Amino acid sequence: MKIKLLTIPNLLTLSNLLCGAFALVAVLAHGDLTLAFWLMILAAVFDFLDGFVARLLRQSGPLGVQLDSLADDITFGLLPAAILFVVGERMPTLFALPQWTLWAVFVLAAFSALRLARFNIDDTQHTEFRGLPTPAAALFCASLGMLAERDLLTIPCEAVLALAAVLSLLLVSPVRMFSLKFHGFGWAGNELRYAFLAACAVLVASLRMWSLPAIIALYVGLSTLRWVLQRAKIAEK
């Protein structure tokens, strides 16, 4: 079977990967967390476009699926872990932890790989997600990194380690998290999505630079509440 490598969707996916690679250099070589944030935003745009263009051009295939996950583990797995590492280096420590303990934040990259691998073989994640999507976890880390670089956030190093652990567990958790893929444009069936987008607009208008971590925290909270209520309803039957 002949496999086309350099299709437009694959080039978009590779652009995602390159943005992640450039951002890693910005973080680890230059400590520039703001540039890394914007490169991650650009990568997320490429990550959205590759699937959209693949469906539009009817060029979807197994190669694209695997390439997408490989790119995502760089941009949305390794990069956010590197951001947390640099943030942790700049933060005070409560218990005089040795610097090497910060290496533990890279568990986030490992759990991101697990999350992406499970997604590739799980046929139940077309309309919703199982566990926190890697881009959401990554953007949460990147936004905190930018806030820390602008002296708008100060947390102890131990909190950075705890955050890496919590995000890692959320990535592989059984919690079903809602997707923003709309079923038409009507209200019925899209109530939660419309309510979430309205809340996002309010958060952006009121919190500005703090809005992105707040939006992701709201997404996790709403998804968890929805999942708990669904399980309770099933248990009653």
In a domain? residue 192 = yes
Least confident of 16-25, 166-175, 176-185, 216-225: 176-185
Q: Do residues 36 and 99 share a domain?
A: yes
Instruction: Return the structure tokens found at 124.
Output: 């139940």
Q: Do residues 210 and 235 share a domain?
A: yes
What amino acid occupies position 235?
A
Confidence class for position 183, pLDDT limits 50, 70, 90: low
Among the candidates 133, 149, 174, a domain finishes at: 174
Nearest Cα neighbor of 48 from 219, 180, 214, 167 is 180
Label residue 137 exposed, middle or buried (CB < 10 Å: 0-12, 13-18, 19+): buried
The more confident residue out of 28 and 234 is 28
In a domain? residue 79 = yes
In a domain? residue 2 = no
Give residue 182's pLDDT.
Answer: 66
Q: Do residues 189 and 153 share a domain?
A: no
Q: Do residues 170 and 182 share a domain?
A: no
Q: Do residues 199 and 186 share a domain?
A: yes
In a domain? residue 3 = no
- Rounded to 10 deg, the angle between the 157-171 and 134-149 helix axes is 160
- 0.85 exceeded by the pTM? yes
* Range(s) of the domain holding residue 160: 8-174
Contact 138, 170 (CB under 8 A): no
- Rounded to 10 deg, the angle between the 79-90 and 134-149 helix axes is 30
Among the candidates 174, 200, 223, a domain finishes at: 174
Q: Do residues 168 and 210 share a domain?
A: no
Spell out the residues 6+ positions from residue 94 whose beta carbon is closer than 8 angstroms to its own. Answer: 156, 157, 158
Per-residue pLDDT averaged across 113-128, rounded?
88
Residue 1 predicted with pLDDT over 60: no
List pLDDT tens digits, range 103-113.
999 999 999 99
Contact 164, 104 (CB under 8 A): yes
Domain with residue 157: its CATH number is 1.20.120.1760
Give residue 82's pLDDT.
Answer: 97
Q: Do residues 73 and 120 share a domain?
A: yes
Q: Do residues 197 and 85 share a domain?
A: no
Q: Do residues 40 and 88 share a domain?
A: yes
Q: Do residues 155 and 182 share a domain?
A: no
DSSP 8-state assignment for residue 128: E
Residue 52 predicted with pLDDT over 70: yes
Q: Do residues 38 and 110 share a domain?
A: yes
Q: Do residues 141 and 226 share a domain?
A: no
SS3 141: helix
